A and B are shown apart, each in its own frame.
Chain A
């Protein structure tokens, strides 16, 4: 039982650490603000969630302490992570940050232009 629990804990924490590391690498390597926002807002969220899950299992299975605050923390991360990513991307786009050499840049530019013309 302890062996299984320890395997679970070690796996969760290592996977989380790997995801956080990959996020950091992605922040350095990716070319523009939007693709960096991708890396920062999601892989990091998943990584921190995995680490928290490992901590929760450690205190629950090895120490016998069921800490529901960690579960709430995971839930809150889950709810606020995507909203943060969305707001970063939206704010960057609306304030005119340039995209990297892109393939399709569908309607958003046109829709925005139309909207601004209508407002004038």
Chain B
């Protein structure tokens, strides 16, 4: 991904040299031209076209803000209910993510959505121990995390 971006910037700078004008607008035009060239040549790179990855990152951010708002509201309702109906629990969740930054990102996202908090990560980086405020069903909770965050992170890191 980084290599393709670097290549795109080099193409843009070459375009600036070709048209002998060193203004930001020329750079942008050159960058768009380079983007088109890289799109045509996408089969010759070992990794996929980098806009795909950028789009996956944007989708992850949107998903995160959606989850953040929804779960904050649900915890708000939980707290101001006259009768506390919470059932805290710590459950283990196996993860398929491998790289350190992926696991850090996943646990940050889990921790920032209210109702769940990562307490510990096992030494072999394969299991997350999650404390949850209101446990209905462990499998359901694990599945919902897996379907949203883990899938989105995999989408970003897939090369």
Interface residues, chain A, with chain B CB atoms under 8 Å away: 18-19, 22, 25-26, 29-32, 34-35, 37-39, 41-43, 45-46, 78-79, 81-83, 85-86, 89-90, 93-94, 99-100, 102-109, 111, 115
> Is B135 a contact partner of A89 (Cβ separation < 8 A)?
no
A22 to chain B, nearest CB (A): 5
Distance A45 CA – B129 CA, assembled complex (angstroms): 22
* Interface positions of B from 107 to 157, Cβ below 8 Å from A: 107-109, 111-115, 117-120, 122-123, 127, 129, 131, 133, 135, 138
Given contacts A43-B72, A102-B88, A106-B92, contact A93 B115 (CB under 8 A): no
A38 x B117 contact (CB < 8 A): yes
Please, how many angstroms separate the alpha-carbon atoms of A31 and B133 in the complex?
A: 11
Contact-size category for B = 20 to 34
The answer to whether B80 and A81 touch across the interface, beta carbons within 8 angstroms, is no
Instruction: State whether A19 and B72 are in contact (beta carbons under 8 Å apart), knowing that A42-B112, A104-B89, A106-B138 are contacts in the complex.
Output: yes
Interface SS of chain B: mixed
- List the B side residues contacting A94 at CB < 8 Å: 120
Bound Cα distance from A120 to B89, whole angstroms: 29
Whether a CB of chain A sits under 8 angstroms from the CB of B68 is yes
Cβ of A107 and Cβ of B92 under 8 Å apart? yes
Q: Which 4 A-B pairs have the closest CB atoms?
A: A82-B111, A107-B92, A108-B129, A104-B89
A93 engages B120 (CB within 8 Å):
yes
Q: Is B87 an interface residue (CB 8 A)?
A: yes
30 A–B contact pairs at CB < 8 A? A22-B76, A25-B80, A34-B131, A37-B117, A38-B114, A42-B114, A42-B117, A43-B72, A45-B112, A46-B68, A78-B112, A82-B111, A82-B112, A85-B111, A85-B117, A86-B118, A90-B119, A93-B119, A94-B120, A99-B90, A103-B87, A103-B88, A104-B89, A104-B91, A104-B138, A105-B89, A105-B90, A106-B138, A108-B119, A115-B123
